[in-house]
Structure formats: structure tokens, C-alpha cells
Structure 1
Amino acid sequence: MQKMGSAIILIILGLIVLAFPLLGLVPLSLLTGFIVLILGIGLILGGIAEMGESAGMGILELILGIIALILGIGFIFNPALFSFVAGLIVYIVGLFLIIAGIIGIVSKSGGSRWNGVLALIIGIIYLIVGVLIANPLYLGILIGLWLLFTGIIMLVKKD
């Protein structure tokens, strides 16, 4: 029963991501911007306080605080900056999918082998699309397809 529930959740999430692949980009950029901005202010204040004990650590905190402050303001006022920085995540997600696929392929259970092959194929496609096209819309569609197909395989596969 738990497997069926997980499969249905994956299918629903896949359909949602397919319907709205860019749904969270701007709100996520704003929220991240405010969080990074507050982090920057905290680091700057911590760096100023640290100067009395260790000038080197204080300067390091100040530099990190200024960088975080600039990024936070950039994320808030320019969501494209957030998209650029998030573009680095393409490599991480693609590698995670490929590693999950390899693990699924070499695992003992037969049901996860097909999920592993699917994850491996989509991970490779994800990296190719992310590097060559770099359009978050297509990347969102790929993640939605992976969720949808993984849910369907889990639902159809009998153990």
C-alpha cells in the first residue's frame, strides 16, 4: 500500500511539474534573495565583531558578507542572476540522476532496475539539454517526465 501511495504521489508531482515547469522560479529567487541578504548582513556584523579577536577571520567574514549581500540584492532585483547561479545546479541534478540510475541498475530488485535505466537516460539527457539549451522550461519538463514515469513503473510493477 505504501508503494502505491508513493507511486501516486510521484505521478501527481510529475503532472504538476509538467503543467507548470517554471512555477517556482521568481518566488524562489525572491525568497532566496532575502535569505542571502540577511545572511550577508549577519556575516558583516559578525565580521565587525570578530575584528577585535582575529583580524584575519573578521576580514574573511566581512568579504563573505559583502559577497552574500551583493548576491542577495541581485537575486531580489534580478531573477536572471538567480537563474544563472541555479544553472550550476544542472550539473549536480544531472549527476544525481545518473548516479541514482547506476545504483538502480546494479541493485538486486528487478523493479528498481527499470527505474535505474530511466533515471540514467534522463540524467544524461538532462545534462545534455542543460548544457546545450540551458532553458529551465525543458529541464522542468524532464524532471516532470522522470517523476511521472517512475510513478507509473512503480504502480504497474508487481513485486
Structure 2
Amino acid sequence: MAEGNNVLMGILAIILGLLVIIFPIFSVFTASVMAGFAIILLGIWLVAQSFGTWSASKGASIAYLILGIIAIVGGIGLFGSVLAFSWLVSFWLYFAGFFLIISGIMSFFVKEGTTGKGIGGIGIILGILYMILASYAWNPYYLALLIGIWLIIDGITLFFVNPSDLMKMEN
């Protein structure tokens, strides 16, 4: 059983997951506002970086400036746009699914190393699942359902798994 702090986080994740499922459009709208705001802040930081690096490297400074402007425009476009956020999430799920499938297929051709045939099969299956989820994520209602289910599952796992124990296992 996990520590008290993890149980509290698990309960909060389950409650948040249920709220996301109950209020799907408001939840996706809120997520798009937060994502847009974060990208706008990233763009502002990149523009500030461009002024700071001007004396050291003109090319890097111009690159920071261009990236910053693109991030600010993209963040403004994403800010509060449910459809843009749904499209972006769906795109990234397709993107991740494609790479999972490709890496799974590639692992079948590896003769040495730690990747096995089972891992390749799992990568292909997960890639296909990502593609299926991406086809549903276009719809904001389904996107909210996917996010809510993920939060509930994550909250339940926090009851049983202590994230710090997972970090110890990796080291």
C-alpha cells in the first residue's frame, strides 16, 4: 500500500477524472486554456532568450525570436479552442502510434541487444491502440472521456504503487 500522500493524490486524481467525464467540454476547454497559456509563456521566454543571446550569436538569437513568435501565435490559437486542442492531441496520438509501430517492427529485425520479439509485438499492439485512440480524440467528448479514464486509472494505481519506489527500481 502506498503512503498517505499518494492516497490523497489518488483520490484527487479519481475525483478529477470523474469531473472531466461529467463536464467534458468544460474540461477540454480548460485543458486548452492551460496548454495555450503555457505555450504563450514559452514563446515569451524564447523571445527574451533571443535578446539575451544577441551579443553571443546572431543566428541563435534570430532562431529564438522566430521560435518565440511561432509559439506565441500557436499559443494564442490554442488558447480556449476546444477543436484545436482536440486536433493537436489526436495528431500527437497518431504520431506516437506511428513511431511505436515502426519501432516494434524494427525490433523484429534486431539480432542482438536487449529488445526482444515480445517487446516488438507489444510496441506494435500499443501503436495500433494509439491510432485507435487518436481516431476518437478528434471528438472533444471522447477526448474528455479518454482523459477522465486515464486520470481514474492513474488515481487507482496511486493507491498501490509509490512513485518513489518505481524510481528506486530503475536505479
Given the two structures, how large is their TM-score scaled by the length of structure 2?
Answer: 0.52
Establish whether residue 91 from structure 1 lines up as the match of residue 73 from structure 2: no
Check 1:144–1:123 CA distance in 2 against 1; reply closer, same or farther (3 A cut). Answer: farther
**CA distance, structure 2, for counterparts of residue 64 and residue 57 of structure 1:** 10
- Percent identical across equivalent pairs? 39
Check 1:30–1:94 CA distance in 2 against 1; reply closer, same or farther (3 A cut). Answer: same
In the TM superposition, what are the counterparts of 1:90-129 in structure 2 within 5 Å?
Answer: 90-91=93-94, 124=128, 127-129=131-133
C-alpha distance after superposition, 1:95-122 (max 9, x if no partner): 8xx9xxxxxxx8xxxxxxxxxxxxx989
How many residue pairs match? The answer is 132
Q: What displacement does 1:131 show?
A: 2.6
In the TM superposition, what are the counterparts of 1:136-155 in structure 2 within 5 Å?
Answer: 136-142=140-146, 144=148
Q: What displacement does 1:58 show?
A: 0.6
Aligned pair partner of 2:85 in 58, 82, 89: 82
Q: Aligned residue for 2:135?
A: 131
Aligned pair partner of 2:29 in 4, 9, 26: 26
**CA distance, structure 1, for counterparts of residue 125 and residue 16 of structure 2:** 20
Q: Aligned residue for 2:54?
A: 51
Q: What displacement does 1:28 show?
A: 1.8
- Unpaired segments of 5 or more residues in structure 1? 99-105, 107-119, 155-159
Deviates more, 1:45-54 or 1:76-85: 76-85
- Unpaired segments of 5 or more residues in structure 2? 102-117, 119-123, 160-171
Q: Aligned residue for 1:103?
A: none
Check 1:74–1:90 CA distance in 2 against 1; reply closer, same or farther (3 A cut). Answer: same
Given the two structures, how large is their TM-score scaled by the length of structure 1?
Answer: 0.55
